[in-house]
Structure 1
């Protein structure tokens, strides 16, 4: 089995839950998870949490999943990396991405030439962040090639197993591939898919994700109303523990070096029981 990590949104970003987040991070480390992909950027509300999670653990890796190149400057990223590297050597991985037009333009910027912008960002970073401590949220062929050539690899988000196959081929054998994989431990198809759709609906409103799905043959009927059953079942592994493990293994068999599990359905709380069950089934 490849490396198994966790993707932490939701309660991990709630300042009122910071003490519990530290406790859960220590438990996650003891369970054997490799890394915590912590969502969010380097704004004043999120930046301290990276250090808190690193400080609460001894060996657990922490990665930014994903810092937007439109909201954090190259200097911001370099300074954050230097700080975490000085305090917790070898444990912080910088994940960068070009975000989405609605988010960027909603913030008052023009979403123009994201690929070129990413190249310029990497140029500005220079050697302040070593390539082996940097990954890109790459989806399309050009971004995957850039991840291969300029960073340690790719952290694709909201992707099917078919994308993992294509990403592995584009990256080649020498680059790290760490897709995010959403999971729901619920054997009832109605409630499991409802939980999945609540999650999917947010991302199916973003053109970068829908364009990527269209690249693999998904059509309008699949992308509406939180996704068709077929799309839900491809994007989210749900069911019994064995069913979910089988879904995660599909990404591994497709070439993933690391799978970042996002456990859905926690209702704003840390799904600690699910973390334990998944670790017992997936981590050797």
Structure 2
């Protein structure tokens, strides 16, 4: 992956590099599959990816086996919900993993979504309070990132963390986020990739995956701020919305779509391979194809 990196003004920019993999499959706590997951993480490192982002309310506990299985790969949560556990527990887990493997774990935090959290209330204030507690417990701001979509949370990512890891966003959102963050913070958006050249099939796979997210107001409100309409969000998502939040097509087209995020201001792009298979199957062939088209 011989791409010219942007100027490094934040240590995380150098350690995570230009490209990473976002995976909900690798966060599994199934002990029977631990060897398979460790082997896959080691291969991602050999393929040249700089970071592995674990989805699905992940924690340092999910990251630890993958950190142990690799030598350089940075493993981050994307995200750990602030409603998931107390800050003191998070800080203790962070300290344990940091002591064993310095610099290899990044704490990605988010406020999740009202429909998914019973006690969801005043999410911005709750995030501020959670960061205050992490400060008091000794978790450094330079080792945490926020899943920021709106302007206020992006400002908090700039002022109280090392940057932002926005999920389900467009290149246009990336440009707006960079304008708010300024140069130094890490900006690492997630991008979903369907390795399919047939438009109808690619959009079919994308719509099936996107369906649950269309019910979550944090995402839908963000799309409306970006100029999409209610009709874009209805009926499984318009082609316009699908094509903005997914990359699909041949290798050249997918590489060009990834490049638009860097051109918009991203330091790092976290690539999620969407295959249409169940979320337990590791898309290892797709990861290999992504590594090849980035080289």
**Common fold: TM-score over 0.5:** yes
Q: Give the structure 1 partner of residue 51 of structure 2.
A: 35
Structure 1 gap segments, 5+ residues each? none
Say if 2:260 is the partner of 1:250: yes
Match of 1:101 among 114, 124, 131: 114
C-alpha distance in structure 1 between counterparts of 2:61 and 2:175, whole Å:
36
Q: Give the structure 1 partner of residue 294 of structure 2.
A: 282
Larger displacement relative to structure 2 (67-76 or 161-170) = 67-76
Q: Give the structure 2 partner of residue 20 of structure 1.
A: 36
Match of 1:225 among 229, 235, 244: 235
How far does the alpha carbon of each residue in 1:151-181 deviate from its partner, in whole angstroms, 9 at most, with x for none? 1000000101110000000000011100000
C-alpha distance in structure 2 between counterparts of 1:104 and 1:114, whole Å:
11
Say if 2:135 is the partner of 1:126: yes
Aligned residues of 1:41 and 1:72 also touching (Cα < 8 A): no
CA RMSD of aligned residues (A): 1.4
- Residues 45-60 of structure 1: pairs in structure 2 closer than 5 A: 48-60=61-73
Aligned length, in residue pairs: 276
Aligned residues of 1:186 and 1:238 also touching (Cα < 8 A): yes
Partner SS for 1:28? helix
* 47 and 91 in structure 1: CA distance in 2 versus 1, 3 angstrom threshold: closer
Q: Give the structure 1 partner of residue 13 of structure 2.
A: none
C-alpha distance in structure 2 between counterparts of 1:41 and 1:58, whole Å:
24
Structure 2 gap segments, 5+ residues each? 6-17
Q: Which runs of 4+ in 1 moved over 2 A?
A: 10-14, 46-49
Shift of 1:14: 6.0
Partner SS for 1:210? helix
* 201 and 78 in structure 1: CA distance in 2 versus 1, 3 angstrom threshold: same
